[in-house]
Amino acid sequence: MSDLPLLEAAGLTVVLKVNGARRAVLRDVSLTLRPGEAVGLVGESGSGKSMTARAVGRLLPPGAEMRGSIRFGGTDVGGLAGHDLRRYRSQVAMIFQDPRAHVNPVRRIGDFLTEALRTNHAVPRTEARQRAVDMLAQVDIEDGTRRLQQYPHQVSGGMLQRIMIAAALLTGPRLLLADEPTTSLDVTTQAEIMAILDGLRRQSGLAMLFITHDLELAAAICDRTAVMYAGQIVEVRASSLLHSDPLHPYTAALAAARPDITRTTHRLRAIPGRPLSAFEAPAAECAFAPRCPHVAGVCRAAVPGLVELAGGVSRCARAHELRGRLEVRPDG
Amino acid sequence: MAEGSGAAVLEVSGLRKHFGSFAAVEDVSFGLPHGRSLAIVGESGAGKTTLARMIVGLERPTSGTIAACGHDRSRPPRSASDRRRRGREVQIVFQDPYTSLDPRQNAEAAIDEVLRLHHGWPAGRRRARITELTDLVGLDARQSRALPRALSGGQRQRVAIARALAAQPAVLILDESVAALDMSIQAQVLNLLADIRDETRISYILISHDLAVVRQLADETLVLHRGAVVERGPTARVLDQPEHPCTQRLRASVPRPGWKPRLG
């Protein structure tokens, strides 16, 4: 793993127009990925995790205003257009939660898989099809030649998601943006997809931004995990320390709210209230303050900045004070 | 609900559902006691939802019997009152809170309709019960009068639960009912379901592929594979010492610290 960052997003702030009103969806998001590194992006509905991936992939909806900078391999890509933007996008692939919503149901899988190679890279048909079959083998689909002839409705959801991964990787990207790619699949299929992504990443040095609502899944497969709340990153931490030494009360509260497969608790420690969307976040205080068990006066005084602490980053005004007191302990 | 605590509120015996030559559910039998919770787990296509649909009456069994509160419900109801009685025996909350509510009906109207239909109470009593139910599931006054499109997924799922509870069912089927909820909301809804069971002695059938949710809510667990029961037992035993390879595979697929996903 090289130490030179592949992706450096700094101070990303994104505003969308919704019914004529300007609504912030990201607030000052900064994120770094090194080549071959897997970073998890965890949050609830409206936290901005998908929008972060869209901003990085230069896939924001029309009319979106973006401030901040995105550098990829040392080059500023925030202002690219036309040919340069297409070239950037061929290095950054994206897969989504619902594969059926992102594939044309009346086109054969083979045409879908080879489209980018043939139109953007001028690869001849026979070679493109061979490369597609080879890539299908890498996502554990052995009878690739037969699959190329099939339509999306003829394969299962797990198989289709593997085909989407193959399609995303065919053009040899350096960064994969994976937006909840296993959320609509059952656990055994999820394990298969994760095994494939993990293997591909280790073989090819592909970096991955893995978006999920599942803190345990992110912690299990990513090197580092970033936790988002109300359009901001509130914590970045080595995944191995996320549960044992969280730096932000929201991370700790999320981990504690989750039922534990190894034991039954009398009551789950639910977080009161509901998650805030970025546009609902207060302008001059911590967005998590109304739900936080550790709230104090300082939390209401200003939006907390990011604090570097113990090898991680926390956006908590009391991060130093609370260090070591946030660990998720079973409560019998 | 006059039965003693030992009597089964729901009895399923030799249940089969075939679609042509495909066996979706194959010879499933179980009994569910009052106030207890049974989880049905298995991979996609194992037959979980088909089983639930037969129990609630949306699908007719190919063979076998289902009885709730001592009344057979394996055949279609013969009268409107028979149909209503079945509604008071078993209710279901589906996975997707976005498609299971009438988009033109607010929570109060949805609950009121169920109360009128099933209990025929006068307006004052219905009014009081609506307030009780919306309080129980944690909907405030504004949310109770809002149309589904103005509510979040978690709020809609609470409306669906309140509406199901309005019929005072002996059995509530939760078909992936908490799967689509945000993590912090999921914990609230799971605590709510546990409270309701403590207060009303309702029985749950929990259909879920989330084994941590199963551990939290279900006393017993039944594992389906290709329509047939391959393992059953107390939830703690099934999850801690799974015996059947299917159960072991499900258990091994759950992400945890140090987890290395493997191809199945």
Does residue A167 lie within any of the structural domains?
Answer: yes
Query: In terms of DSSP H, where are the helices of A240-297?
Result: 249-257
Using CA atoms, how far residue B60 sits from A101, B16, B63, B239, in Å, is 32, 10, 9, 32
Minimal Cα–Cα distance from A270 to chain B, Å?
A: 5
Q: Are A258 and B183 a contacting pair at CB < 8 A?
A: yes
**Is residue A162 a part of any domain in this protein?**
yes
* 3-state SS class at B38: strand
Min Cα–Cα distance to chain A from B10, Å: 25
pLDDT tens-digit readout, A18-53: 888 888 999 999 999 999 999 999 998 889 999 999
**Per-residue pLDDT tens digits for B129-153:** 999 899 888 888 888 999 998 887 7
Gap between the Cα atoms of B67 and B69, Å rounded: 7
Question: Are B261 and A259 inside 8 Å of each other by CB?
Answer: no
User: Looking at A193, A227, A261, which one is the last position of a domain?
Assistant: A227
CATH number at residue A42: 3.40.50.300
- Return the residue of A nearest to B194 by Cα: A267
Does residue A328 belong to any structural domain of this protein? no
Q: Contact B184/A254, CB-based, under 8 Å?
A: yes
* Facing A270 at nearest CB: one of B187, B212, B256: B187
Which of the residues B182, B210, B226 would you substitute to probe the A interface, choosing the one with the greatest number of A C-beta atoms within 10 Å?
B182
> What burial class does residue A41 get, using C-beta atoms within 10 Å of its C-beta: 0-12 exposed, 13-18 middle, 19+ buried?
buried
Report the C-alpha gap between A237 and B132 in whole angstroms. 44
Q: Are residues A222 and A281 in the same domain?
A: no
In a domain, A26, yes or no: yes
CA distance linking residue A23 with residue A64, whole number of Å: 10
| Partner residue opposite A259 with nearest CB, options B152, B212, B249 | B212
Rg (CA), chain B: 19
Does residue A119 form part of some domain?
yes
Residues in A touching B244 (Cβ below 8 Å)? none
Dump pLDDT digits (tens) for B217-229. 999 999 999 999 9
The predicted complex's ipTM stands at 0.85
CB contact under 8 A, A188 and B186: no
Asked if the C-beta of B240 comes within 8 angstroms of chain A's C-beta atoms, the answer is: yes
Residue listed under structure tokens 């086109």: A107
Assigned domain for A73 exists: yes
Domain membership of residue A153 (yes or no) is yes
Q: Which of B44, B185, B213 sits opposite A259 (nearest CB)?
A: B213
| Partner-chain contact B183 A188, CB within 8 Å | no
* pLDDT of res. A328: 64
Are A63 and A179 found together in one domain? yes
Tens digit of pLDDT at every position of chain A (332 positions): 556 899 999 999 999 988 888 889 999 999 999 999 999 999 988 899 999 999 999 999 988 999 999 999 999 998 899 999 988 988 999 998 888 888 999 999 999 999 989 988 899 999 999 999 999 998 989 899 999 999 999 998 889 999 999 999 998 999 999 999 988 788 888 898 899 999 888 888 899 999 999 999 999 899 999 999 999 999 999 999 998 899 999 999 999 999 999 988 889 998 988 888 888 899 899 999 999 999 999 999 999 999 999 999 999 999 999 998 887 655 53
Give the B window 6-35 contacts with A, CB below 8 Å: none
Q: How far is A272 from chain B (nearest CA, A)?
A: 8
Residue of B nearest to A242 (CA): B257
Question: How many domains is chain A built from?
Answer: 2
> The domain containing residue A273 runs over which residues?
242-322
Among B248, B262, B205, B189, CA closest to B43: B248
Q: Are residues A97 and A183 in the same domain?
A: yes
- Distance between CA A321 and CA B198 in Å, rounded? 39
Residue in B with minimal Cα distance to A195? B261
What predicted TM-score, i.e. pTM, was given to this entire model? 0.88
A82 in the same domain as A218: yes
All structural domains of chain B, each given as residue ranges with its CATH number in brackets, are 8-96+170-252 (3.40.50.300)
